[in-house]
Structure 1
Amino acid sequence: LAIQAERFRNPIFRIFHTELEAVYEEKNRGLDNDSWKLDEEMMAKLFPVHNYGQQTTIGTIEHLKNPSLVEIRNYYNKYYVPNNMAVILAGDLNPDEMIKKVDKAFGYMASKPLALYNPAPEKALTQVQKIDVYGPSAEVLEIYYRGFAQNSKESLMLSLIKSVLTNGKAGLFDINLNKAQKVLKANASYQQMKDYGVFNLSAQPKQGQSLDEVAKLLLEQIQVLKDGKFDNELLKAIVANQKLSFLQAFDKNNNRAEILSNQFILHRGTKWNLSLGDIDETAKITKAQVVAFAKTFFKDNYVIGYKHKGEDKNTIKVEKPTITPINANAGLTSPFVKNIIEEPTKPIAPKFLDYQKDITFGKSGIAEVLTIKNTENSIFRMSYRFNMGSNNYKLLQYAA
C-alpha cells in the first residue's frame, strides 16, 4: 500500500520519451493487426459521436506525433484524484484493519472538482454500413449492433440472447452452424460498457466460401431467433449456467477484484445490488419476450465488417524518432525504498489440512468415499479416482 500510494504523490515522468518509443511500436503492431483494424473502423461507424468509436485507447498517429509532457501532467492532475479512484482489495484480510491502512497511505490525497465524460446521445442507426479491411490473416465476417447502457433491461436481454445464439453446447450457432459445419466457426458475444454495449456476430468461412455467404448464414439464424424456433428449456439452462459461472468466479480473488473494478467503472459501485440481481431478473424473461425484443432490435441497423485476405495498400507506419537513452540509476536505492525493505513484515502462518479432522471418511459399496462440506457457496463437486492408469490399462484414456 505504501508503494502504491507513493506513486501518486508526485510522479516524475522521467521515462516519458523512452516509453513513447514503446507506444510507437505498439501502434505499429496494431496497424499490422487485421482484427484491430477491422474493429477500430467498425466502432467508428457504430459510434460516430461517442468516444467508444472516436477515441481509441492508444490514439491516432497524429496524437502520437505531437506528445506533450505538459498535457500529460495536466491530465494526471485532473483525473488522478481520490474522488475518481478506487482501492480494490481481495484476499485473506481484515477489512477494518485494511481500511485504516488505506486511509493512512492515501490520506494525503485531496478531492478536486471533477467533470466526468458526458457525451451527446448517439442517433439511431437506420441503415447497414459496410467496412472492408485487407490483410494477410484469415478471412472473417463481423456484424456489430449498438447495445444499451449498463444495468438496463435491454442489456440483460442482449446478454441472454447472446447465450441463445452461442453457449458452446446448444445455442443456435452451436447447433445450426458449428456442429452442422456450415462455417469454420461462428460466435456471438455482447460487450457491456458504461453508456452502450456492442452485440457482435462473427464467423470464419470454410475454404471456398464467400464472406457474403457467411453473412447470409448468420442473419438466417437471427431470423430463426425472431421466429422463436428454439427450446424454451434453453432459457432455463442459460440462467442455471449464469448462476454457476457467477459462483465459480468468486472462488478466485483476482476474479473478485476484477468484478469490483468493473462495477466501479460502470457506475462507481452505486448499482451493485442491481448487478447482483441481474441473474434473477434474467430468470424472469420469457421466450415470448425474447422473440418480441429480437424482432424490434435486429433490423438493418448494424455495421458489417469484411476482413479480406489480401494486401492492405493503405498501411501507414509511425516513424519512431531517435531517442536519447536515459540513465535510470538502477543500482541506486532511495531512502523511501530502504524504509520499505527494512519495514518488518508479519510472517505468513500456513494452515495445514488435517486429514483426520477436516475430511469425513465413509464407504459406498466397495468404494471409499471422502467428503468435505463446502462452506463457501452452494456448488457441489464430485470426482472419481481409480487405482489404475492408462499405462496399465490402455483403454482407460478412451473411456475418459
Structure 2
Amino acid sequence: MAREQEDADGREEEKDINGADDHHHDDEPALAHAQESRILDACRRRDIDDLQVLAVSRGGFLSDAIRRQAWPVLLGFTVDEHGEQGGSSDSWRKLARHKDEDQVKLDVDRSFVYYPDDDTQAQLDLKKTALSDLITEVLRRQPYLSYFQGYHDICQVFLLVLPPSSRAAAVSRLSGLRIRDFMLPSLGPAISQLRLIPDIISAVDPALCAHVGRTEPYFALSDTLTMFAHNVRRYADIARLFDALLAREQVFSLYVFAQIVLTRRAELFDHDEPDMLHFALSKLPQDLDLDAVIRDAAILFDKHPPETLRNWGKISNASALKTGRRVDECSRQGLAEGFAYFEMQQKELRWAARRQKAMKTVWANRTVILAVVIGIGAVYFRKAPFWMNLVSRSMPNHYF
C-alpha cells in the first residue's frame, strides 16, 4: 500500500498546470480542446486575468488562430470573431517620412532569417514589403518614436501571426505603451532596466549573481529589446513566448531572462573569464523548455515582485515598466497617454544629460574652480580677522 501511495503521489506531481498527466497522451486532444474553449471564452469576455493564467499554462494560446483573438484583447483594441480590425487605411503613405526609414530598409532586407523556412523567394519578398510597410506606418503615425535595431524582429512576429488589418494597431499600441522605453532617443532607460536582472537573480541565488556580476548586464540587451525575437529561431517557440510576454506586465521579460540564467547555473560557472561569461550569457540556448521557463518565471515574479528589487526605485515613474505595471490598466490607455509618458521620459533624459555635462565641466576645470574659491575665501577672511585666525590654525600656510 505504501508503494502504491508513492506511485500515486508521483503521478500527481507529474501533472502540468492544467492538471494534465504527461504520461496519458490519450487525454491530450481533450485537454487541448478544453484549454482552447477557455481561451476563446476569456477573449469573448475580454478577461485579461484569465488570459494571463492561460498564457502561462502549457502551450500558451495553442495556435495562431486563437492568438488573433487573444493578442488584441491584451493590447487593448477590438477585432471581430475572425481577428480582423476594421478601419484600415493607406493614409499613412501621405504622412511625412520618418527620420529612421533608411535604417528600417536595411534591417528589413535581412529579416525572416530563421522562419518561415518553406517560403519561396517571391513569397519572402512579399513578406519583406509588408514588413517594411508595417514598420513605416507605425513610425509615421507616431513620429516621436525612435526606431531601434531589432524592432523589425518583433514586428515580423506580429506580421506572421496577425491578419493585415490588425497588425498596425497591435504594433502601435505595443510600441507606445509597452516597449516605449526602447524607442526613446537614448538607450539609457533600456540600460536601467537591465540593472533589475542581477537583483532578481540575487534574490534566489546570491552566489550565481556574484559570478554573473563579473560582467555588466549588457548581455541581456538583445533579448530584452526584441522580446527574445532576435535570438529564438523557431517560429512556434517565439509565438508561444509572445503569448506570455503580452499577457504579463512589461517587466516580466526581465524575469524570463533571469530564469533562463538560473537554469544555466552549472554551465555559467564553467566560465571564469568575464569576456567568455558575457559571450555565453548573450547567446540564448536553443534547447530551452519554454513552458518550464515561463512557468518558473511566473513563480519567481510572485515570490520577488518588482517593488522588492533594489534598483526598482531608480526606474522612472514614466517608464513603461511602471505605467504598464498592470496589463488591464495598460490595455485601457490611449496612445495619447503613451506620448505624454514619452515626453516626461524625454525631459528626464535631457535634464540628466545637462547635469552630466555640467559635472564633466566642473571636473575638467576643478583646479581653476578651487583656486577661485580659495581666492574668494582669502579676501573674505582678510576682512574678518577673527575667522581668519580661526581657520588659519587648521589650514596649510600656503593657502593664505
TM exceeds 0.5?
no
Q: Per the shorter chain, which TM-score range? A: under 0.3
What is the TM-score of this pair, normalised by structure 2? 0.22
The answer to which structure has the higher strand fraction is 1
- TM-score norm. by structure 1 comes to 0.22
Q: Which has the higher contact order (CA 8 A, sep 6+)?
A: 1
1 or 2, which has the higher helix percentage? Answer: 2
